[in-house]
């Protein structure tokens, strides 16, 4: 494998990871921000209160966007198998 091919594979792997985690991470971030603002405005100091809404938001995002996430991972796997087949000369 050449250096260019190695960089291409690493770049595709990073892009796939970013595509896979973007929606669940964004949902957790947004819900965490909203809960933190609500806690600050009501002066609630309970730190464990923020965990449950974030967990629920991430799980909902995984259910809603699970098919797209799985599709991105499958596309990457197909690309890797095609590159391996091409490198083997098949």
pLDDT in tens, 21-43: 999 999 999 999 999 999 999 98
Closest C-alpha among 56, 2, 5, 16 to residue 32? 56
Assigned domain for 13 exists:
no
Assigned domain for 1 exists:
no
Number of folded domains in the chain?
A: 1
Assigned domain for 4 exists:
no
Q: Are 1 and 87 a contacting pair, CB within 8 Å?
A: yes
Q: Are 61 and 23 a contacting pair, CB within 8 Å?
A: yes
Q: Are 22 and 40 a contacting pair, CB within 8 Å?
A: no
CA distance 51 to 61: 15
Assigned domain for 54 exists:
yes
Assigned domain for 25 exists:
yes
Closest C-alpha among 33, 18, 29 to residue 58? 29
pLDDT tens for 50-81 read 899 999 999 999 999 999 999 999 999 999 99
Assigned domain for 75 exists:
yes
Assigned domain for 39 exists:
yes
Full residue range of the structural domain in which residue 70 is found: 18-88
Task: Report pLDDT for 90.
Answer: 61
Whole-model pTM: value is: 0.78
Assigned domain for 9 exists:
no
């Amino acid at each position: 494998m050449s250096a260019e091919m190695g960089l291409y594979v690493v770049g595709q792997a990073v892009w796939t990871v970013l595509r896979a985690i973007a929606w669940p991470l964004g949902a957790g971030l947004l819900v965490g921000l909203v809960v933190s603002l609500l806690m600050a405005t009501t002066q609630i100091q309970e730190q464990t209160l923020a965990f449950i809404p974030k967990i629920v938001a991430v799980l909902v995002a995984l259910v809603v966007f699970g098919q797209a996430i799985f599709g991105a991972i499958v596309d990457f796997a197909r690309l890797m198998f095609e590159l391996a087949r091409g490198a083997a000369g098949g």
